[in-house]
Amino acid sequence: MERQQDYVLRTVEERGVRLVRLWFTDVLGQLKSFAISPAELETAFDEGMHFDGSAIDGFSRVQESDVLARPDPNSFELLPWSSEDGNSARMFCDIESPDGSPFEGDSRQVLRRNLDRAHDRGYSFLCAPEMEFFYFADGNPNTAPEPLDTASYFDLTTADVAGNIRQRTIHMLEAMGIPVEYSFHEDSASQHEIDLRYTDALSMADNVMTFRLVVREIAMEHGAYATFMPKPLAGQQGSGMHTHLSLFEGDTNAFYDADDPYKLSTVGKSFIAGLIRHAPEITAVTNQLVNSYKRLIIGYEAPVFVSWARNNRSALVRIPVTKPGKASSTRIEYRSPDPACNPYLAFSVILAAGMAGVEGGYELPPEAATNVFEMTDQERKAAGLRALPQSLAEALDEMEHSELVAETLGEHIFEWFLRNKRSEWADYKSHVSQFELSRYLPNW
Amino acid sequence: MEPLLLFPDPAPPELAQALDLGGYPWKPVTDDRAAERQEPPDGWAGAVVCADVDPETAFAVCRTIRKRDVPLEPLLLLISGTQLGELELRDDLFDDFLLTPFHPRELEARLKHLFWRTGRGTRPELIEYRDLVLNLETYQAAISGRPLDLTYMEYELLKFLAAHPGKVFTRETLLSRVWGYDYYGGARTVDVHVRRLRAKLGEEHANLIQTVRSVGYSFGQSRWSS
């Protein structure tokens, strides 16, 4: 580690960095940050920086609330937006208890732990999410969201603005070492998609955190508002975070088998079987908002039923067709997550579900050959198709009984998450919505 | 800077890695005859000789490069603790010695000091390739005068590649020589970092790092070709 730290210290000096931002993530996946001066850097590396963990969601415990943020020098990156008082840089932190052990409330350490586990079995876990989001004129929650590129006035001009924002965002992401695979305008008005190029899951979770910040920051620069809310507009496609997954053993793609009709190895098949069996339990983590479940409905490109297929976008797990000879690109696409998740926890439970299949030698159920949305309830029942949880409450019920999720997240985060989300659901349940007023008030 | 002579060939991986990280170019030789035959036109910059496995050949190599009109300096000898007796009456064959297994930092510190004391060249401070400059002292890289904002591993990868222009490296080689430890991403990590480096180098310089199909990567062109 010493050389990496030396690199950071020298770069800070050489490049005139005035502020070093230490980033970390709370249990719900909100980016938190505090800034230190270069003079404090060495202490931060050697001893970590103390802060009161009870200020952070999910960090509080009854007895001890003091925790240590220890910056990860490998994540050091100069921030491409400069402020008046010079350059600034950021590092992601691991959170430790005062005794130096990994802090149980730190979701980055949860992912680290799960990656280490897979690593001990010889696997590297790579992922590549497709990030969808909307640009709106502003973020005012009291008025209906106004898409940027269907404004009737100056239609063309505003459409250009969204394109410009996206271009600049991509430029900024690349400058921060987050390569972009594709980007395009999505189905809905003002909806955009930026696909990130695969990397190891820990770097990718860091990238997702950076991505959400950059997208919002650049939108703000242009006087617009970007949101990762899963379903901001009723009647239109919601925003998903379809995530492509692969396991590598050294240089070999563990999902690939040239002799299989699906080009899938036994490991690949049992990984999918693991996702299929445990999908309902992990959905509260991959889709953590009340609003997430308004996206997971029939009629859109979001999955509703637990199924897998090659060419069927209604499936929960899709096997993208790869070009002949491209063994390394064999992968699995998991389609339920949305971009409002905590990526550290989401990647953790997805990996754990898949690995449970690999270790338990799960049998892969048959492929869903037809569009599962077009089947009748009875046909689905006959085919043994289960539905994903229909609401946050159902998802929490599934999660509460899951050994797998409890073990993956650790007792502290598992309990805190359930408690926090139950209370979110209780708030929602007690709310009387416009739908109810419009529907019932005139008639009852 | 000319390469350091390194004995034996193949070089012990931990030694190769320590020298790479320290920014010293090097070339392994199999025996005393190879030490002469493969000497670069401007002479070796110095020598690091490991005598812990095959002391006989190792001392033969030392003799060849020291017993001549202008003895080669500096020469750092690596021996195991049980061999200390063999140093007797051989003081003229080396400038300093280091016990194996060695600590990379100690190796670097001793080499640095030897170069300073013998006044024969110093630690290379710059790696230059066309518009690209890497300052090894300050860890900064710039292309056409524009500073590059690199992460530590991006910097290390670029440094390694730029120090060996024209040479093709496999992903495994890059992973073991640049990363040197097990990394979550495995061999695919190299692709990810190359992609990131190219993005940061910018469009007009992105082709400095070439993909060699079904092999790996290479950087620029060898100074000897064309």
Where among B118, B135, B163 does a domain terminate? B118
State residue A226's pLDDT score: 95
d(CA B122, CA B143): 24
Judge: B188–A80 Cβ closer than 8 Å, yes or no: no
10-residue averages of pLDDT along chain A (444 residues): 86 90 94 92 92 74 73 91 78 90 91 95 94 90 80 44 83 85 77 90 95 94 93 93 93 90 93 98 98 94 92 88 77 97 98 98 88 82 88 98 97 94 96 95 93
Select the more confidently predicted residue: A88 or B177. Answer: A88
Do B84 and B132 belong together in one domain?
A: no
Do B49 and B79 reside in the same domain of the chain? yes
- Measure CA A253 to chain center: 23
CB contact under 8 A, A203 and B152: no
Position A154 scores a pLDDT of 36
CB A130 within 8 A of CB A103: no
Residue A159 is predicted with a pLDDT of: 56
Pairing of strands B216-219, B209-212: antiparallel
Neighbours of A99 (CB within 10 A): 7
What pLDDT score was predicted for residue B219? 93
Summary count for chain B: helices (H), strands (E): 7, 12
pLDDT digits over B79-111, tens only? 999 999 989 889 889 999 999 999 988 998 898
- Closest partner residue to B185 (CB to CB) among A15, A75, A126 is A126
SS3 state of residue A142: coil
Q: What is the pLDDT of residue A140?
A: 86
Task: Kindly state whether residues B19 and B101 are assigned to the same domain.
Answer: yes
In-domain check, residue B172: yes
Whether residue B14 is contained in a domain is answered as: yes
The CATH class of A2-97 is alpha beta
Mutate: best of A120, A195, A199, partner B, most B CBs <10 A = A199
Q: Is residue B225 part of a domain?
A: no
CATH number of the domain where residue B196 is located: 1.10.10.10
- Rounded Cα distance between B1 and B223, Å, is 13
**pLDDT band, residue B225 (cuts 50/70/90):** low
Q: What is the pLDDT of residue A84?
A: 66
Whether ipTM > 0.95 holds is no
pLDDT score of A179: 83
Same domain, B14 and B90: yes
Q: Cα dihedral angle (A214, A115, B186, B135), rounded to 10 degrees?
A: 50
Evaluate whether residue B11 is within a structural domain: yes
A77 contacts B149? CB cut-off 8 A: yes
Are both B15 and B96 inside the same structural domain? yes
pLDDT at A340: 98
Q: What is the pTM of this model?
A: 0.78
**Residue A200 in 3-state DSSP?**
strand
In a domain? residue B224:
no
Q: Distance of CA A51 to CAs A29, A34, A70, A76, Å?
A: 19, 10, 11, 20
For residue A91, the cross-strand partners are: A22
What 3-state DSSP class applies to A31? strand
Q: Which two tokens stand for residue A193?
A: 């998609």
| pLDDT value of residue B226 | 44
Task: Look at residues B94, B118, B142 and tell me which one is the last residue of a structural domain.
Answer: B118
- Contact of B25 with B2, CB cutoff 8 Å: yes
Point out which residues pair with B169 in neighbouring strands: B217
Domain range summary for chain A, segments of one domain joined by +: 2-97, 113-438
Q: Which of B65, B94, B118 is the last residue of a domain?
A: B118
pLDDT category of residue B73 using cuts at 50, 70 and 90: confident
Question: Could you please report the per-residue DSSP string of A217-282?
Answer: HHHHHTT-EEE--S--STTS------EEEEEEETTEETTB-TTSTT-B-HHHHHHHHHHHHHHHHH
What CATH number corresponds to the domain at position B81? Answer: 3.40.50.2300
Q: How far apart are CA A16 and CA A160, in angstroms?
A: 36
Q: Which H or E element spans position A243? A: strand A243-249
Domain limits at B207?
A: 126-219
Chain A: residue whose CA lies nearest to B170: A251
What are phi and psi for residue A248, nearest 5 degrees? -120, 140
Q: Cite the beta strand spans of A79-137 per DSSP E.
A: 87-96, 124-136
- What confidence score (pLDDT) does residue A400 get? 97
Partnered with residue A191 across adjacent β-strands are A134
Q: Which of B139, B149, B195 minimises the CB distance to A179?
A: B195
pLDDT at B181 over 80: no
Residues of chain B contacting residue A77, judged by C-beta atoms under 8 Å apart? 149, 151
Q: What pLDDT, in 10s, does the model give residues B5-38?
A: 999 999 998 898 888 877 788 999 999 999 989 9
Into how many domains does chain B fold?
Answer: 2
Partner B contacted by A328 (CB < 8 A): yes
Please check whether residue A145 touches B, CB under 8 A: no
CATH code given to domain A113-438: 3.30.590.10
Is B213 domain-assigned? yes
**Quick one: pLDDT at residue B203?**
85
Pick the closest to residue A275 from A250, A240, A307, A246 (CA basis).
Answer: A307
